A and B are shown apart, each in its own frame.
Chain A
Amino acid sequence: GAVVSQHPSWVICKSGTSVKIECRSLDFQATTMFWYRQFPKQSLMLMATSNEGSKATYEQGVEKDKFLINHASLTLSTLTVTSAHPEDSSFYICSAAPLLAGVPYNEQFFGPGTRLTVL
């Protein structure tokens, strides 16, 4: 159980295009999903916290107009990198925290990640 998928797993695009990454919790409902970015040999950096049905909370320094997050259902969140540039090339990982009635989640389950290369 507790499987999270991401699609696509790898994308190469031209500078200036927009890229959408999907994150799905396959066998559980997630009220909260997190989006992380990871550059080579560095740790995960939280970009934003996404709650179903409400606006995402972005970390300081992350442009919300550039990284559009939509959490339309309890099993799907999307991250759209708008007008991508080479410096946006990175490994983007989502995670989902299960919905437990009245109990704060204690764990997050990671998706397999999406490697974005912007030429």
Chain B
Amino acid sequence: GQNIDQPTEMTATEGAIVQINCTYQTSGFNGLFWYQQHAGEAPTFLSYNVLDGLEEKGRFSSFLSRSKGYSYLLLKELQMKDSASYLCAVKDYGQNFVFGPGTRLSVLP
């Protein structure tokens, strides 16, 4: 079956660093995506990993270990506007995108 796990909620302080973990078990693997979603809005693309290792893009980095079925999203220098839900999604062999439950991040002043 398809299963993607993320923590439900996280809280961090402005200026800090936070790591959001994602573990997955899917029918094949064709890439892992991270999306940011603010309440009432559509998700926006943050990152894509298909090979093991770290992908860095400004304040956001994403890591993948295919052998462990594990990824994390690292957010540095947190800002208030980073308060949102972060969705981990895996593209399986059927070219379908399977989404995790999402992690609601609250950034406190």
Contacts and interface: CB of A to CB of B under 8 A. Distances in A.
Interface of A: 32, 34, 36, 41-46, 49, 91, 93, 95, 104-113, 115
Contacts of A109: 45
A46 B97 contact: yes
Interface of B: 30-31, 33, 40-45, 48, 50, 85, 87, 91, 95-102, 104
B42 A46 contact: no
8 contacts: A43-B85, A46-B98, A49-B96, A93-B42, A107-B33, A112-B42, A113-B41, A113-B42
Given A44-B43, A112-B41, A113-B41, A104 B30 contact: yes
Given A112-B42, A113-B41, A43 B96 contact: no
B95 A104 contact: yes
Contacts of A110: 42-44
Contact of B48 (A45, A107, A113, A115): A107
Contact of A105 (B85, B95, B101): B95
B45 A107 contact: yes
Nearest to B98: A46
Question: Lowest 8 CB-CB distances: which A-B pairs, in order?
Answer: A110-B42, A43-B102, A43-B101, A44-B99, A113-B42, A43-B99, A112-B42, A110-B43
